[in-house]
Amino acid sequence: MDPSGYAGPSEKTVKPLTPEALAAFKAAQEKAGVVYISRIPPGMRPTKVRHLMSAYGEVGRVYLQQEDAKRAYLRRKYTSTKKAHYTEGWVEFKDKRVARSVAEMLNAQPIGGKKGSRWRDDVWTMKYLPKFKWNMLTEQIAHEAAVHAAQLRVELSQSRKEQRDYLKNVELARVLGKRAERKRKNVGDGEAQDANDTVQRPQKVQRKVEDEGRAQVPPKEKRKKPKSDPNPDAEAQLSSVLGSIF
């Protein structure tokens, strides 16, 4: 139970209860009645609720539930009001008959007060809870707190799991990206090598064909000048001509 929302009796019991006091306490608990207030006006605190309810009968304990933490954060962030707000409350009257009559009388009625007071025009919304005791409220609050803590643990565990999965996926994506980049680089080098081979292969083939053609064509034979055979008649005629001249 939140201490800031609790407003108990001013006197404190410091001594252990005797059997007679314990029996009297149980009888008082059986006699007491609880009124549930479904809406607490903004800014109203437990001490103010006790003060207003005390005008109709003897009040035992008062507990107001604070607003949700997320809602309180947003309100403090976007408004100028920084004080705690309460959403609902429970008021214990010493006499259950008084509690019933107060709930029936004040439900859907304005709070009233002096002219110009803060909550003059606000309306009470309350209901008497038959067969409801204060220990039930404490058990209910403890149960809700345990459920809330369990939900927080589940959400925290789920958040950690999602974070681990996210980091795992990021690492996997990084590894796959490096692998794909390496593969693209290897493919690019292979394509460049194939292009070079494609360019060089026709040249090699052409040179090979030229070499084979040269090997098939026989080399040209040099034409030999025919040797002139000596003719004796021609030499004799030449000698006679030369002799007649000289």
How many Å apart are CA 189 and CA 174, to the nearest integer? 23
- What pLDDT score does 217 carry? 52
Over its length of 246 residues, how does the chain's per-residue pLDDT go in tens digits?
555 565 665 555 557 778 887 787 788 778 889 999 999 988 889 999 999 999 998 998 999 988 888 888 888 888 877 788 898 999 999 999 999 999 999 999 998 888 878 888 889 999 999 988 888 888 877 877 788 788 888 888 888 888 888 988 998 998 988 888 888 888 877 666 666 666 566 666 566 666 666 666 555 555 555 555 555 566 666 666 566 665
| Structure confidence at residue 9 (pLDDT) | 57
Query: Can you give the pLDDT at residue 144?
Result: 77
> Using CA atoms, how far apart are residues 105 and 112, in angstroms rounded to an integer?
13
The CA angle 138-85-37, to the nearest 5 degrees, is: 50
The pTM assigned to this predicted structure is 0.55
Res 203: pLDDT: 62
